[in-house]
Chain A
Amino acid sequence: MPESSILTEEMLKAVGVETKPATYEIEKGHIRRFAEAIGDSNILFTDEKAARKTRYGSLIAPPTFFRALLSSDLPPVVSEKLRKLDGGSQWEYFEPVHPGDRITVTAKYVSFTTRQGRMGEMLLVVVELTYKNQFDEVAATQRTTSIRY
C-alpha cells in the first residue's frame, strides 16, 4: 500500500460493494423542470404532443436527468472534512426513460487513487452508477470521478 495520508485500507475494501437499491418513479413535471433548469427546450423533453409523434411516442428524460436520481449512501469511507470537486462523468445509454418508468439506482466504488495537485494531495474517487428500469433493463450507466482535497 502506498504511503499516503488520505488513502486508507478501508477505502480499498469498499471497492465493488453495491449500495442498497433506490427506486424512483419518473414524473413528467420533474423532467420538464429539469429541462427548464438546464435551458434545453428539445421537444422530446418539453412538448408532450410533439414528442408523441416521434419514435419515442412520449416525452423522454434528457441524458443527464439521472443526476437527479440519487443512489443510497455509499460506505462512509471518505472523510466529510475533505473538500469536493466533480472531475467528470462517462455515460452509456441503452434505453430511453419515459414518465411513469420506475428507475432503480445502485452505486459502487470503482477505485481510489491519489495524486499531487495544486492544492496538495488529492484523492480521486471513481464511482459507477447503474440505472435499471422496471423491466430490469439497464437504461444507463454513469462513471463519475470526484476529486477530494
Chain B
Amino acid sequence: MGKTPYWEDVQEGMAIPDLRKNASTQQLVKYAGSSLDWYQIHYDLEFARGNKLDGLIIHGALKNAWLGQVVTDWMGTEGMLRKLSVQYRGMDVPNDPLVCKGVVKKKYEQGGHHLADLEIWLENGKGEKTTPGEATVSLPSRAAR
C-alpha cells in the first residue's frame, strides 16, 4: 500500500500502480463463503456448463473488490473512496493472470473537498479490458494543513 499522495501532487493523466491478481478456484470458494454468494457458476463446473458457460467464472463482485483495492492501495490510509463503479463486459476465469490498472482523469475541488476521478479497469491474460470502471477519491491537500 502506498503513502497517501497529496492532491497537489496528483496529475491528470498519471497512472496509478498496477495490481496483479490470479484467482485459484479455492479463492472463488473463499469469496463465495465470505460474501455469502453461493451461485454455483463460480465453483460447480457442471452447473456452469449447464448455464451455457465454458467453465467456472470469477464473481463479478470479486473483480469489483480488486478494482476497489487498486484505488485504495494507491490512495493509502488518508485518502477516502467516494465513488466506485464497475461494468462486467467480459467474463474472467480462474488461473488467468489479471491486472487492475488506473489512470487519473480529472482533479477538482468541490464542497471543500479535494477530489480526483480515476478511470480503472481490469485486463485479462490476453490484454483484453473485460471490466471497465470509475472511481472518485478525496485526498488531503497541502493547503488545508
Check: B16 CB closer than 8 A to any chain A CB. no
Check: A5 CB closer than 8 A to any chain B CB. no
A85-B61 Cα distance, complex, nearest whole Å: 11
Check: A1 CB closer than 8 A to any chain B CB. no
A91-B88 Cα distance, complex, nearest whole Å: 15
Q: Which residues of A contact B52 (CB under 8 A)?
A: 83, 119
Residue of A36, A38, A42, A92 near B1 (CB, 8 A) is A42
Given contacts A43-B77, A55-B77, A87-B88, contact A38 B60 (CB under 8 A): no
Check: B10 CB closer than 8 A to any chain A CB. no
A43-B36 Cα distance, complex, nearest whole Å: 24
Check: B14 CB closer than 8 A to any chain A CB. no
A54-B133 Cα distance, complex, nearest whole Å: 28
Q: Which of A81-104 touch B at CB < 8 Å? A: 83-93
| Residues of chain B at interface, number, CB under 8 A | 36
A87 → chain B, closest Cβ, in Å? 6
A37-B61 Cα distance, complex, nearest whole Å: 12
Check: B73 CB closer than 8 A to any chain A CB. yes
B31/A38 in contact, CB under 8 A: yes
Interface-central residue, A42, A62, A67, by most chain B CB under 10 Å = A67
Q: Which residues of B contact A86 (CB under 8 A)?
A: 59-61, 88
Q: Which residues of B contact A67 (CB under 8 A)?
A: 35, 37, 61, 64
Check: B34 CB closer than 8 A to any chain A CB. yes
Q: Which residues of A contact B88 (CB under 8 A)?
A: 85-88
Instruction: Show 15 A/B contacts (Cβ-Cβ < 8 Å), sorted by A.
Output: A30-B34, A37-B27, A62-B72, A63-B65, A67-B35, A67-B61, A67-B64, A68-B35, A83-B51, A88-B60, A88-B86, A88-B133, A91-B83, A92-B83, A119-B52
Per CB-CB distance, the 6 closest pairs between chain A and chain B, nearest first, are A86-B60, A88-B87, A37-B34, A38-B65, A90-B85, A37-B30
**Further pairs besides A42-B69, A63-B72, A89-B84: 16, Cβ < 8 Å:** A34-B34, A34-B35, A39-B27, A39-B69, A43-B1, A54-B78, A56-B77, A62-B65, A64-B64, A67-B37, A70-B36, A84-B39, A86-B60, A88-B64, A89-B61, A89-B85
